[in-house]
Amino acid sequence: MEHTNEKFLIRLSGVTKTFPVASGIFHALNNMTLDIPRGQLMAITGKSGSGKSTLLNIISGIDKPTHGSVVVDGVRIDTLSESELASWRGINIGVVFQFFQLLPTLTIAENVMLPMDFCNRYPAKERRPRALALLQHVGIGDQADKLPSALSGGQQQRAAIARALANDPPVLMADEPTGNLDSQTSTAIFELFAGLARLGKTVIIVTHERDFASYFENTMAMADGKMVTELSHA
């Protein structure tokens, strides 16, 4: 697949996503055109039902647009087959969830190695050292051989971020990643995301936490499947 170094890592052009509903056709995304620069920490806000999750699903190729095109790192993903998309997603998109979603029977290091085992991007003997290095990077190198249940919420979210980084994807996305954490721990998690953006990751976070607005280079508000703020591309 072709990769580019152009400024915008993610380009949506005229993206519409409709769902059939009893009363007709519902527009979850309504003709969205959006460019997201490489290495940016970006927030998406908006009321429930405004289309935030649908947008993340379109960017990660989980949903396909009804109309329009989606290009990520030079690859037009809306025309890929489901199997092409599955392998593309594994190395291009890292996802962080509100409730961490670590597998409870695997150690922290094994959780981080799992996406590497699925994608085969790194040789088997490199996977554990890579997992340990990622855990070190997110600040929990000493927790590698524990089960998730032995960790605090903040530590579990750090582990989930290490897992999202397993295959070194250019894009990280998170839906309310601090929704289950206290404010001090949330600050530490936003600082971690900001550091990853400085290292070149494009980090897209759905959040309602207004206290953390200063961490974001861009905040995109959504309403009725549309962007209702202009993004700055300084």
Ligand X SMILES: Nc1ncnc2c1ncn2[C@@H]1O[C@H](COP(=O)(O)OP(=O)(O)OP(=O)(O)O)[C@@H](O)[C@H]1O
**CB 97 to ligand X: min, Å:** 12
Q: Concatenated DSSP letters for 10-74? A: EEEEEEEEEEEETTEEEEEEEEEEEEEETT-EEEEEE-TTSSHHHHHHHHTTSS--SEEEEEETT
Q: Does 52 bind ligand X (CB under 6 A)?
A: yes
Q: Does 154 bind ligand X (CB under 6 A)?
A: no
Nearer Cβ to ligand X, position 46 or 177?
Answer: 46
**CB 56 to ligand X: min, Å:** 8
Nearer Cβ to ligand X, position 38 or 52?
Answer: 52
Q: Which helix (H) or strand (E) holds 222?
A: strand 218-223
121 DSSP assignment: -
Determine the distance from the C-alpha atom of residue 17 to the mean position of all C-alpha atoms in its chain, rounded to a whole number. 20
User: Which one of 33-41, 49-57, 82-90, 162-170 is the stretch in contact with ligand X (CB under 6 A)?
Assistant: 49-57
User: Which one of 52-60, 73-81, 163-171, 186-194 is the stretch in contact with ligand X (CB under 6 A)?
Assistant: 52-60
Classify the phi-psi angles of 24: left when phi > 0, otherwise alpha if psi is within -120 to 50, otherwise beta.
left
CA 148 to CA 81: how far, in whole Å?
A: 35
User: Strand 67-72 and strand 75-76: pairing?
Assistant: antiparallel
Q: Does 65 bind ligand X (CB under 6 A)?
A: no
Backbone angles phi, psi at 183, to 5 degrees: -70, -35
**CB 227 to ligand X: min, Å:** 12
User: Which one of 42-50, 116-124, 157-165, 191-199 is the stretch in contact with ligand X (CB under 6 A)?
Assistant: 42-50
Q: How many CB atoms lie within 10 A of CB 151?
A: 18
**CB 21 to ligand X: min, Å:** 6
Q: Mask 189-228, x = binds ligand X (CB under 6 A)?
A: ----------------------------------------
Contacts to ligand X by CB under 6 A? 19, 21, 26, 28, 46, 48-54
